[in-house]
Amino acid sequence: MKDIQAIKQRFGIIGNSPSLLRAIDVAMQVAPTNMSVLITGESGVGKENFSQIIHQYSQRKHGSYIAVNCGAIPEGTIDSELFGHEKGSFTGALADRKGYFEVADGGTIFLDEVGELPLATQVRLLRVLETGEFIKVGSSKTLKTNVRVIAATNLDMQQAIHNGRFREDLYYRLNQVSIYVSPLRERREDIVILFRKFAADFAEQYRMPPVRLTEEAQHLLQNYYFPGNIRQLKNIAEQVSVIEESREIDATCLKKYLPESKHDKLPALFVGNREQKTFADEREILYQVLFDMKKDMNELKKIVHHLLAQNNDTSFNEIKIHPASFSASEEKISNIEDTESYDVEDTLSLEEIEKDVIRKALDKHSGRRKDAAQDLQISERTLYRKIKEYGL
């Protein structure tokens, strides 16, 4: 535990949640080896901190450490960036260039967003991992390098493999050791501690007293979903520190800086005294919509009957509502009153609704599944499964 505290202090890691301490412990244990490590977790959780821990506590600590954001490099130039190129190998190649694997020989390369690598580049990377050999773009000469690779991703890699986006052999070569960095909502006990640290840092930076949260504000912060994780929490702390004149922040004030999240409106699973959000009950959401529709229809029916009772001469046609509309609508919804079992027709109708919603989201984002999944507020894994299930 003493070593973990020293590492947290050295790398600016804050928190005492069991999942965080476990991730640090695994990083320390694997650091002295040459094993490849795959760090997984959502965007904004601080995955690069763990790659730096591994490098600094390894025998390569005096060698180069290069961090590469694979998702930020265009597909046409990624091979040149990683492996280098020969002069004249493509338009604009005015001179020979060393790639990261040549420059980092004897050190460590951190491949962030490794799941975004093109398939052709994945083949080259697999060869480096297996043999330590690579070939520059435009060259036929094989070069050797001794580099340790640490990779990170926020993708569901098994789903990416299933969809043909990532090579299975490369995945298992990268994933000799796996480190999972949990999202902030699974580290609720650390949220207030992190906020205080950020508030103190910004108070020093902007030369002002640090802001303080009331008990109600702390509770609000701990129960927020934080889709942007630690990065989002830090931004909130900075905004509050700079904008608010009062140094004591209550829940009403803090709420202005917490963007409304659809996650908080979905069904919740209670585990102990902690509220965990889940997308496993997507069908239940659709059933709730149907229940609300039936309730609204019953209310409308009562209003119509009341109007008829007040004026017996008033016809259904005069109020432009025909009784057949009620019977037709009620027939579609009547079966959902029995929640003990779902018959085939109900299931099919719900599937059609779900299918239509997914299709519209895909159309809206021109087929970009990642954006569509974010819009639907479901995981990419769930969206891929639904697309395959419905043949979209």
Q: How far apart are the first and last CA of the chain?
A: 51
Domain boundary among 151, 182, 213: 182
Q: Which residues pair with 10 in a beta bridge?
A: none
Q: Which residue has the higher pLDDT, 22 or 3?
A: 22
Check: CB of residue 101 under 8 Å from CB of residue 142. Answer: no
Backbone torsions φ then ψ of 133, nearest 5 degrees? -115, 150
Quickly count: other Cβ atoms within 10 Å of residue 141's Cβ.
7
Mean pLDDT value of segment 381-385: 78
Q: What is the pLDDT of residues 33-53, one digit of tens each?
A: 999 999 999 999 999 999 999
Which CATH number do you get for residue 241?
1.10.8.60
Q: Is the dihedral of CA 180, 182, 187, 191 positive or negative?
A: positive
Q: Answer yes or no: do 167 and 199 share one domain.
A: no
Total domains in the chain come to 3
Token look-up 């984002």 returns 365
180 membership: H or E segment, kind and range = strand 177-180
**How far apart are the C-alpha atoms of 305 and 253, rounded to whole Å?**
47
pLDDT at 207: 95
Domain boundary among 182, 207, 238: 182
User: In which band, very low, low, confident or very high, does the pLDDT at 352 lie, cut at 50, 70 and 90?
Assistant: confident
**How far apart are the C-alpha atoms of 264 and 277, rounded to whole Å?**
7
Q: Which residue has the higher pLDDT, 356 or 149?
A: 149
**Percent of the chain residues topping a pLDDT of 90:** 63
Q: Answer yes or no: do 258 and 322 share one domain.
A: no
pLDDT at 292: 62
- The domain in which residue 47 lies consists of 2-182
Q: Give the closest residue to 153 by CA, choosing from 16, 232, 81, 50.
A: 50
Quickly count: other Cβ atoms within 10 Å of residue 110's Cβ.
25
Q: What is the pLDDT of residues 73-132, one digit of tens each?
A: 999 899 999 999 999 888 888 999 999 999 999 999 999 999 999 999 999 999 999 999
Token look-up 């052709």 returns 120
Mention every residue, 6+ apart, whose C-beta is less than 8 A from residue 77: none
Q: Answer yes or no: do 31 and 177 share one domain.
A: yes
- Retrieve residue 372's tokens: 């569509």
DSSP structure class, residue 337: G
Q: Answer yes or no: do 33 and 143 share one domain.
A: yes
Q: Answer yes or no: do 167 and 111 share one domain.
A: yes
Q: Answer yes or no: do 75 and 172 share one domain.
A: yes
Q: Answer yes or no: do 143 and 192 share one domain.
A: no
Q: Answer yes or no: do 142 and 36 share one domain.
A: yes
- Retrieve residue 306's tokens: 């009341």
**How far apart are the C-alpha atoms of 17 and 33, rounded to whole Å?**
26
Q: What is the pLDDT of residues 207-262, one digit of tens each?
A: 999 999 999 999 999 999 999 999 999 999 999 999 999 999 999 999 999 988 66
Q: Answer yes or no: do 46 and 109 share one domain.
A: yes
User: In which band, very low, low, confident or very high, does the pLDDT at 376 lie, cut at 50, 70 and 90?
Assistant: confident
**How far apart are the C-alpha atoms of 384 and 365, rounded to whole Å?**
15
Q: What is the mean pLDDT of the chain?
A: 84
Which CATH number do you get for residue 99?
3.40.50.300
Q: Which residue has the higher pLDDT, 143 or 91?
A: 143
pTM beyond 0.75, yes or no: no
Q: What is the pLDDT of residues 295-341, one digit of tens each?
A: 666 667 677 666 666 655 544 444 444 444 444 445 444 444 444 44
Domain boundary among 276, 292, 315: 276
User: In which band, very low, low, confident or very high, does the pLDDT at 191 lie, cut at 50, 70 and 90?
Assistant: very high
Query: How far is the CA of 166 from the CAs of 36, 120, 152, 153, in angstroms?
Result: 17, 10, 14, 12
Range scoring the smallest mean pLDDT among 45-54, 165-174, 264-273: 264-273
**How far apart are the C-alpha atoms of 225 and 262, rounded to whole Å?**
9
Q: Give the closest residue to 19 by CA, choosing from 42, 123, 155, 228.
A: 42
Q: Answer yes or no: do 209 and 104 share one domain.
A: no
Q: Answer yes or no: do 227 and 255 share one domain.
A: yes
pLDDT at 280: 39
Q: Answer yes or no: do 200 and 86 share one domain.
A: no
pLDDT at 344: 41
pLDDT at 56: 97
Range scoring the smallest mean pLDDT among 25-34, 126-135, 217-226, 363-372: 363-372
Backbone torsions φ then ψ of 110, nearest 5 degrees? -105, 115
Q: Give the closest residue to 332 by CA, choosing from 291, 301, 303, 367.
A: 291
